[in-house]
Every structure is written in C-alpha cells, then in structure tokens.
Amino acid sequence: MAIETRKRQPIGVELVKRGIVQQGDIENALAYQKQHPSRKLGDILYILNLCDPEKLITAIGEILGTKGILLTGNKIKVRLADYFSLDIAKRNKAIPFEVNSGRIKVCFANTTASRNIETIRLLLLNKGLVMESYITFETDIDKYLKSLEGTVTTNLESSGSNDTVTGLVDSIIKTGINRRASDIHIEPMQNDVRIRYRIDGELFTAAKIDKDKQQQIIGRLKAISNMHQEKQEAQDGRILMYDDYNIRVSSQPNIYGEKFVLRLLKKNEDIRAIFELGFPGTEEEFKRSINKRNSITIIAAPTGEGKTTTLYSIMDYLNRPEINITTIEDPVEIRIEGLNQIEIDEAKNSFSNSLRTVLRQDPDIILVGEIRDKETGEIAIQAGQTGHYVLSTIHTIDSIEVITRLRKMGLSDYDISSTLSTAISQRLVRRLCTECRKERPYTEAEKKIITAIGEKYGVKYDLNGTTYDAVGCKHCNNTGYYERIGVFEVLEITDEIKELIISGKSSLEIRKQALQESYKPLVVDGINKVIQGHTTLEELNKKLLIF
C-alpha cells in the first residue's frame, strides 16, 4: 500500500494518536523500511504484525479520506476476469471485490495514484458500472494476483531449486518458446533475478530466482550465445541450439549485474496472409497499394509493431517465378522459397553498400529492411526511379510522418514526391481470445466515443450489434487475449499530395488534403476491429489514446 514519503510521519503520528500503534512500533517499522525502502509504512506495520490489521487499514483509509478494507478471500465476491484482465490489475494494483446495482467496489494499493484510479474508473464506466474505491495492503493485492497466475512459474521454480543451472536456463528458454514469447528478459534485481516474458506485446513476470544463482545464469547465457565471459559490458550474441529457433541475445550491465534480453525468432515460421494480419479493404485495393513499379512503398510504425511481419506478407503475396525479388535484411528472420535473401553484418557491410550491389543483380523488387539514413534513402529512391519496386520500413508514428522523416534525413521534396507511392502505418493490438470472450451490448459511453470518432472522420459505424469483453481462461493464460492483429492506415501519394510535397508544404497541410481523399487514420480501422469483435476499445485506447 503506497503512502508518499512526505506523508509517512504524519500518518505514523496519526496512528499513534488513534491508539492503533505505539510510538515504538513506528520506530521499528521505520528501521525495517531502511532495509526495504520500497515498502510503505502501512504495509510494514501489517507485515510485522504490530497491530490489528483490520483496525490499521480502516484507520489509514480514514486518514487518506477513503475507505479501507482488509482483502481476505471471503471479501472477494466477483471474478476479476469479468471486469478487466490480469495484466491491467497488476499494472494498476487494483482488484474488484463486490458489485451491486450498477456499482462496483474496487480496492487499490494506492488511492493517491489518481492516474491508476482514473484508468480503472473509465474502464468500468465503459461497462456501465460506477466505481467505488477502497484502499488495502499492497501485500495482499500482490498475493491475490499471484494466485491467479496459475502454474506459470512451477517449472521454473522446480528447475531453480532441484536442477543444474544448465537445466534452469534451458527451462527458461523452453518455457518462453512454449508460451509464444517474442522476448525473454532475464534481469538481475537487488534481491533476486527476475524472469519476464513478452507475450502478444505485453510483459509478464514468470518467476524470481535466487540471487545466488545470478552469476551462474549469466555465465551459462554467455557460453551458449558465444559472448566473451570476462567482459562486463554490452554484447550481442546468438543461441543456435534450439532447432526451430534463431535466438538473438543482447546483454547490458545494470546496477545489479548484467541484464539479458533474448529475442526468439522462429526459423521456418509460416508467412501469414496479409488479410489474416488485419489489412483493411479489398484485395483490389491492396493490389493498387503495393503492386507497382518505379516507386517505393514504406511501412511505418514504432519499434515492435509488426513492420517486418507485414513486409514478409507483402513479399510472399508478390512472389512469383517470373519476378526476381531480392531482400536486404538485418537479420533474415523468415526464409521464403524463391527469394534471394541477403543478411547483412553492419560491422562489415551496410544497407547502402548491399543495396548498391543488389542493383547490379537485375532485380524487379527489392526489400530493404530499414531506411536508416540519407545514403540508404537516396539509393532506394534511385532504385525506384530506375524501374524497380522498393519496399522498406521506417520508424514514424503514422504514414503522413513518413514524408517528414524522409525530409529530415535530407532527401529532396522532388525525390520524395516522384518516388514514394504508398505509406502504410500500423499498430498491433491484442486479439480477444475466442475461447472466453464475453458478448454484451455497447454501453452509452462506448457509443459516444465511437460516434464522435466516426463523425470526425466521416465514417458511419453500426452500433446496433454487440461487442465483447476480455475475460480470461487457461487457453489465453487468463489475459483475455490470444495473439495480435494489425490496425492499419494507408496513404496513397496522389497527384494532389505530390504537388503539396514538391511545394514544401507541412505535414498538417498534407494531412488535410489526404483526409479529403481516401486516407483514414489508424483509429478508423481500429474501431472497425472493435466492431468486428477482434479486440476491445480498452486495448485500442492503450495504443492510440482515443479517450
């Protein structure tokens, strides 16, 4: 339970005044806090059993201007997954425990954290519920949420206690593979080593391993990823001992040791059809966007939003025996039969140097993993201007900002306008688990949000049907979501937009013109995905901040 530092002493004084604790109890709690600085005073008094816990939490609630509740099992009369997912509960330290006549009671570890409370309040309001907030001990919230994680940590914990470090590291990696993790984080903390998995874009804590195993784990990871054992500095390596996976490893020292992040790349993963990824519109519209010559198509998104996956799906769609397709990648993540795939090593060769060589290989279509600098951009534009079709990626927030990013690299307005044909931006949102999603009518709050977006962008949404809530089951590890789906926007560089680019007009003016044409921003497709039952308004809001 969180109490700000500046309030600790007044609360301690107030608790003594009320006869809840003695002054000596407060001094003992403060001494304990020096050894455990992340713990708050109220939780420490509770952990040390220095007073009656029911009276303690009631008094703290009164002092903070709210209601306190001791979170025992019989007090929780609702199922968490019926209202929000386990990861939302962890992030906001919140547990719903009773609902009646449209009002829901939720206990928090910190009622002064207004952002957390507002997040949960809005989420529940969208479900037609008015929230009543309570405060409780953070210790009890953590204990209850951990009980909902099921058996996620069982294998790791048993390996950690009974097996060799070799077996422990192997168990960590295999568990990540089995749970569909894209990344494994192995993080030295002050008192232990934390293991986290990124699954469908979200990080989950899977286990905490004894601190005394830290150096052995680090040594084993360095050995199997071909890193220098003696170096305690940032390194990169690869693990090739798992048949179906190419695992990229990155180490970075922190204040408690060396942190490792393992990126799990499946070697022969099937290419997913572009429409399975969630690409909007018809196949004819898709063909018009990407099947071109003498031009460049750029996929734009922040890191981790699926740009490479979309590129592979486009390449697979275009791949035919009569077309020479060459890719330049760092690294080659998926091998596609019929493509000439080049893996570069930045230490020996760059995107720009490899692209120059590829242009002498008679390509029809060229994939450049990423346009990172002016030199690569200029060669890509040259390739587009000499009859090739070039696909690449860039880091921007949306498709219109692709133009701004290319300008900032130093490319001329003439080259951009004459060669850029399509900019596609995307985000990944988690798909609702079809095994457990719960159908219900739209709330008035949801209708208001969706209608306002529709009116802003000239789109009519049908809200007479039903939507879905994330629930949580064994299939989706109690998150309510399984895998991800793309939310897209497509900017076609029309003659009118070319004129604005070559005239040096700003992105605001280009956006205004695009909205008058066929361009619809990410949120429009996102709302469609909600209405189609693929995701939720809350999940979309996490990526696009729509309310």
Please determine, for residue 159, whether its predicted confidence score (pLDDT) is greater than 50: no
β-pair partners for 486: 428
Helix H or strand E encompassing 389: strand 389-394
pLDDT band with cut points at 50, 70 and 90 for residue 8: very low
Please determine, for residue 161, whether its predicted confidence score (pLDDT) is greater than 50: no
CATH number of this structure's domain 5-147, picked from the four choices 3.30.300.160, 1.10.3720.10, 3.40.190.10, 3.30.43.10: 3.30.300.160
β-pair partners for 266: 245
Please give the CATH topology (third level) of the domain spanning 283-430+484-520: Rossmann fold (3.40.50)
Q: Under a CB-based contact definition with an 8 Å cutoff, are residues 134 and 69 in contact?
A: yes
For the ranges 118-122, 472-476, 487-491, 535-539, the lowest mean pLDDT is seen at 472-476
Q: Which among 281, 270, 346 is positioned nearest to 312, based on CA atoms?
A: 270
Could you report how far apart the first and last alpha carbons of the chain are, in Å? 28
Helix H or strand E encompassing 198: strand 192-199
Q: Where are the domains of the chain?
A: 5-147, 154-266, 283-430+484-520
Q: What is the pLDDT of residues 497-513, one digit of tens each?
A: 999 999 999 999 999 99
pLDDT band with cut points at 50, 70 and 90 for residue 5: very low
* Displacement of CA 26 from its chain's centroid (Å): 41
Put simply, whether the predicted model's pTM sits higher than 0.75 gets the answer no
Q: Which structure tokens are listed for 467?
A: 């939507």
Q: What is the pLDDT of residues 200-256, one digit of tens each?
A: 988 888 888 989 999 999 999 999 999 998 888 899 999 988 888 889 999 999 999
Regarding predicted confidence, which is higher, 5 or 476? 476
Please determine, for residue 196, whether its predicted confidence score (pLDDT) is greater than 80: yes
Percentage of the chain beyond pLDDT 90 is: 46
**154-266 classified as CATH 2.40.37.10:** no
Spell out the alpha helix ranges (H) of 387-521: 401-409, 413-419, 444-457, 495-502, 507-516
Mean pLDDT of 187-197: 93
Q: What is the mean pLDDT of the chain?
A: 87
Q: At residue 450, what are phi and psi to the nearest 5 degrees?
A: -65, -40
Please determine, for residue 162, whether its predicted confidence score (pLDDT) is greater than 60: no
Q: What is the pLDDT of residues 389-433, one digit of tens each?
A: 999 999 999 999 999 999 999 999 999 999 999 999 999 999 999
Q: What is the pLDDT of residues 109-118, one digit of tens each?
A: 988 877 889 8
Q: Which among 438, 368, 378, 446 is positioned nearest to 406, based on CA atoms?
A: 378
Q: What is the largest CA-CA distance in the chain?
A: 86
Q: What is the pLDDT of residues 310-356, one digit of tens each?
A: 988 888 888 888 989 998 887 777 778 888 988 887 666 777 788 88
